[in-house]
Amino acid sequence: MNYPRTTASQPRFLLSSIAVAAMLLAQGASAQDAATQRVEVTGSSIKRLATENALPLTTYKAEELANQGLTTMTEIAVALTVATTNEPVGGGGGGTMINMRGLNTNRTLVLLNGRRLANEALGASSVNVDVIPMAAIERVEVLRDGASALYGTDAIAGVVNFITKKAVQDVTLHASTVQPEKSGGGQQKRVTIVAGKGDMATDGWNVYTAFSAQRRDSLLQRDRPGIWDPDKLASLGGTPFTANTSGGSASPANFTIYRNGRPANITGNPYFASGCVAPGLPQTTVPSTRTNANGANTCITDPSIYPELLPENQQVTLFTKAALAHGDGKIFSVELNLSRSYIDAISGPQPFGNNTDYDRLTASRRPLMITSASPWYPGGSGGVPAVAGLNGEDLALTWSLDELGAVKLHDVQTNHRFVIADEGQVRGWDYRVGASYGYSHRESGFKENFVRTPGVYAGVANGILNPFGAQDAAGREYLASISADGQNFREADVRYYGADFNLSRTLMDLPGGALGIAVGGDWHRETFAETATMIGDEVVWRVSGTPGNSPSGQRKVAGLYVELDAPVTRQLDLNFALRGDHFSDFGDTYNPKASFRYQPVKALMVRGTVSKGFRAPTLPELYGTPRTLQPSTSSWDDPLLCPSATPNVAGSGTLTTDPRFAGLGLDAERVCNTRLTTLVGANPDLQPEKSKTYTIGFVIEPVKNFVATIDFWKIDMEKTIAQINEDSIFDNLDRYQDLFVRNPDGTLQYITKTRLNMGGLKTQGIDLSLNYSLPTANWGRFGFSMDGTYTDKYEGQNDEGSPWVDSVGRIGALATGSTSANTYIFKWKHQARVNWSYGAFFAQLTQQYSSTYEDTNALPTQQPGQPFYNVIAPYRVYNLATTYKVTPKFKIGLGVNNLFDHDPPLSNQRLSSRVVFAQNIAKPIGRAFTARADYTF
């Protein structure tokens, strides 16, 4: 497919804003004084003037983030144009992980005050930024190139460093709310208090605490009907809900007659004739209009009732910092960060029967049977209506426990971090030393309306449970006795122990200034332990992990680095860094980095970097859930024994007639349209990834108050670690033949689905930043800024030597395993801002934009030129934020997010669940009004 040129797809807002900025430039403006304080910036251990930085670094101040209408860490992460970060929606419990350059969340290094945090305990070993104390943040620095030479070998995609306030001497109260215009849910509320005391200059000490609590309410799909509109769903290739749709579990239960131990393909429901209304049960079903024997006279659950677009979410953080001056300019500090976050995700009521798994370890399915001995058998003593033609045969049921209501999963994350540090000068050296401890705990469990599957089967068999109507007192008591509510099915802990030091000073004078040197090192130990309890084998529904397993692992890493900064002339500065690391499980690695800064004239600076990276597999990738054989997630045709011209469409194959397999006695039910055996779990044989990163950039200041930066970047990786999903395997059988492991007779042993070292990855593009301000004598100050990323290439190999496939603008990016929606690489993504400040008033209009891309299009009918082929159009959202300083101590703000109420584009990412908006670029809440107030005393 030919993609439209980026310039052709840019919104009028951006073009007109640039034109306005150009006209304003002609009027001239006064210069701003450059900062003269030497500071340490992300990406270097040598202090320098901020204007001397040779690295592609972007800084966002806390006030700037608020002016963009960003109120949570999730919104900050998603707004970064250099990232393809998905917001956790639809019950995603892992939190918010930053995914720079689309290289996976565990290739982006997230720091708090320049030091690491403990990773989220489950998933892909990434930092959940929801645990970072937003109330204490002073600025966010985003380093857009590799930083393995200084911070650690895994900073391949870049670094995001959240920096807190150095000191606070007053008390500030903050309250904010986001209220969607449409009813139904999605409201957000946030309160914070930041209080401190002590003046470092006069008292020699400071202590402050920042507390923040925020909550987002659940939003159900039925409250945004445009997202599940039947006509729109059909236009994407989905199956809209009608009374003729194939049924599943229902309340009251559907039945299939069994004769001689086998289904007779005769179905029914005792309440079909009464419109599927059973006494005492909520009305969640409608009568089926299907007329074939298998599906006739049944009830169908309305799928619009239960799906959730945004789960209930809450975070609480507490950050405390104490600093004490001692000696001559030395500062000793202590930091404590405590956080807790949870996501409560709603799903439909728990289903039972041979269309759902009975246990998780084997993923086996067995019929849920009721016999004529039960009082609840149709026509029996319990009062369930008789069904004509039913003569006491055993019945297999498909039952949904709608009487209990929707189930709710509880996902809780707890994160602690303690840091002690000291910095200052000694014998001409700037020094920094510190030690830290981090703890991350995550637990996933059953909160509401879960019951044990074996107990349900036993209760129906012995006549205690009524699958066709409301339970009597004995049934209700029995359901309570087999409840799983309040129990966790999966828990995990990550602990981080670290120590670091850094020494820097100037050595000698060079023609351009003083030669600077920094030496440093760090050591850390990380442990990982997970427990998946056997309750997950009894409940099964919505359970992750492998019950009965308790994987664990640990790693120690020690590193030393040296950095030299040489101002060769006043125009040319060279920087070199080298880091050596020793891994307790992967040995030694050395990673250099070199950068330059050349400024021939004041209006132009040229900068560039080159570096190497090395990422060892994470502990969960190596030592997580042990490799086990499990049935595939979906049903498939064995491509050898049940070949098909369309192998990605289950049921399209036919049993092979190849004489080589004539003596195997093949059964079509075992090799056609069935769940094949797969190998899943961790892979202790994984090898490290290696990378090379290149950047070259220009900083242009043609007139006063206008700065433009253009940075070209290129990242090459080899032996990338990724996980292949089943759809990709069966869409590209020729490419993935090696993943099919067969016995000598040709029968399938298993399909490999573990994480693997695959081929290489090459991605490159351009980052663009524009900043202009115009102060006027009578009309205040006007400003325009924009940050954008253009990705020219994102090519990957599925294995070494295989063809390179470009994924820009289409699905196929490196699998992350930690996001709740598919990851796409956009050709162009930007955020543009126009603002105006006049006295105590400030207003800013922000546009977030992402370019067109191909949708998932996984079905054969969803290909170019075929029906239902979907392309997501360019998507843009405008946020308006205003602030007014009523007094020097009291500030209020009002705003509108999604100002023009732009609907989220519909996508075929998740047609089966009917959650069909493009969750990687849009929110489902629509236009929302924001209000905030800050009071300082």
Alpha carbon distance 844, 381 (integer Å): 71
pLDDT digits (tens, 9 = 90+) for 899-935: 999 988 888 776 655 567 887 788 889 999 999 999 9
Please state, as a whole number, how many other Cβ atoms lie within 10 Å of the Cβ of residue 428.
7
Q: Is the pLDDT of residue 19 over 60?
A: no
Q: What confidence score (pLDDT) does residue 92 get?
A: 46
Q: In terms of pLDDT, which residue wins out, 837 or 543?
A: 837
pTM: 0.86
pLDDT at residue 87 in the model: 61
Give the tens place of pLDDT for each residue, 835-854.
Answer: 999 999 999 999 999 999 98
CA distance 626 to 63: 47
Condensed to tens digits (0 to 9), the pLDDT of residues 722-749 reads: 877 787 788 778 878 888 999 999 999 9
CA angle 28, 34, 36 (to 5 degrees): 165
Provide the pLDDT for residue 248: 79
Q: Note the pLDDT tens digit of each residue in 323-347.
A: 999 988 899 999 999 999 888 999 8
- pLDDT tens-place string over residues 107-139: 889 999 999 999 988 866 788 888 888 889 999
In this prediction, residues 652-666 reach a mean pLDDT of 89
Greater confidence (706 vs 810) lies with 706
Residue 38 has pLDDT above 70, yes or no: no
pLDDT digits over 487-531, tens only?
999 999 999 999 999 999 999 999 999 999 999 999 999 999 999
Residue 363 has pLDDT above 80, yes or no: no
pLDDT for the residue 18: 37
For 779-844, give the secondary structure using H, E and C.
CCEEEEEEEEEEEEEEEECCCCCCCCEECECCECCCCCCCCCCCCEECCEEEEEEEEEEECCEEEE
Are 540 and 454 a contacting pair, CB within 8 Å? no
Band (221; pLDDT cuts 50, 70, 90)? confident
Residues 258-292, buried b or exposed e (16+ Cβ, 10 A)? Answer: beeeeeeebbbbbbbeeebebeebeebbbbbebee
In what helix (H) or strand (E) does residue 75 lie, and over which residues does it extend? helix 73-79
- Per-residue pLDDT band at 783 (split at 50, 70, 90): very high
For residue 669, the model assigns a pLDDT of 75
Q: What percent of the chain has pLDDT over 90?
A: 56
- For the chain, report the end-to-end CA distance as a whole number of angstroms: 60
Res. 393: pLDDT tops 90: yes
Residue 98's pLDDT is what?
A: 86
Asked if residues 281 and 896 have their Cβ atoms less than 8 Å apart, the reply is: no
Look up residue 270 and give its two tokens: 């005792």
Q: What is the arithmetic mean of pLDDT over 175-187? A: 93
pLDDT at 47: 58
Q: Give the pLDDT score at 295.
A: 80
**pLDDT given at position 601:** 93
Nearest to 343 by CA among 308, 306, 304: 308
Which pLDDT band, with edges at 50, 70 and 90, does 10 fall under?
very low
Residue 271 to residues 268, 277, 475, 726, Cα–Cα distance (Å) = 9, 6, 20, 39
Which range has the worst mean pLDDT, 263-267, 384-388, 697-701, 864-868?
Answer: 864-868
The chain-wide mean pLDDT, for the chain, equals 86
- Least confident range from 193-197, 644-648, 847-851: namely 644-648
Average of per-residue pLDDT across 632-641: 88
Predicted confidence at residue 147, as pLDDT, reads 67
Indicate the range of 651-660, 698-707, 808-817 predicted with least confidence.
Answer: 808-817
Order the strands of the 115-116 sheet from edge to edge.
Answer: 57-61, 137-143, 158-164, 108-112, 115-116
Show the tokens assigned to 930. Answer: 């924001």
**Which tokens in the block code for residue 808?**
């820009």
32 pLDDT tier (thresholds 50, 70, 90): very low
Average pLDDT, integer, range 781-801: 90
**Mean pLDDT in residue range 335-361:** 89
Q: 672 phi and psi, to 5 degrees?
A: -120, 135
Mean pLDDT value across residues 194-204:
94
Give the residue among 174, 171, 234, 157 at the shortest CA–CA distance from 207: 171
820: pLDDT strictly greater than 70: no
Q: Is 231 exposed, middle or buried (0-12, 13-18, 19+ CB in 10 A)?
A: exposed
The helix/strand/coil state of 38 is strand
Q: Is 891 helix (H, G, I), strand (E, B) or coil?
A: strand
* pLDDT tens digits, one per residue of 433-471: 999 999 999 999 999 999 999 999 999 999 999 999 999
User: Residue 3 — very low, low, confident or very high, per pLDDT cuts 50/70/90?
Assistant: very low
Those residues with Cβ within 8 angstroms of residue 391's Cβ, 6 or more apart along the chain or in another chain: none
pLDDT over 60 (residue 21): no
CA–CA gap between residue 756 and residue 762 (Å, rounded): 18
Strand partners, 845: 834, 880
Beta-bridge mates of residue 319 = 210, 337
Residue 101: CB atoms within 10 A of its CB come to 26
Q: Residues 86-105: pLDDT tens digits?
A: 665 544 456 788 888 888 88
Judged against a pLDDT cut of 90, whether residue 77 lies above it is answered with no
| Average pLDDT over every residue of 571-585 | 94
Tokens of 721: 């670690």
- Statement: residue 245 has pLDDT above 80: no
**Do 833 and 852 touch, CB atoms closer than 8 A?**
no
Residues pairing with 863 in the sheet: none
Residue 168: pLDDT band by 50, 70, 90 thresholds?
Answer: very high
- Name 545's Cβ contacts closer than 8 Å, sequence gap at least 6: 444, 489, 490, 530, 532, 536, 625
Q: Can you list the alpha helix ranges (DSSP code H) found in 138-236?
A: 148-151, 230-235
Question: What's the pLDDT at 95?
Answer: 75
pLDDT band at 35 (very low <50, low <70, confident <90, very high): very low
Confidence of residue 384 (pLDDT cuts 50, 70, 90): very high
SS (H, E, C) 856-867: CCCCCCCCCCCC
Does the structure show a pLDDT above 60 at 26? Answer: no
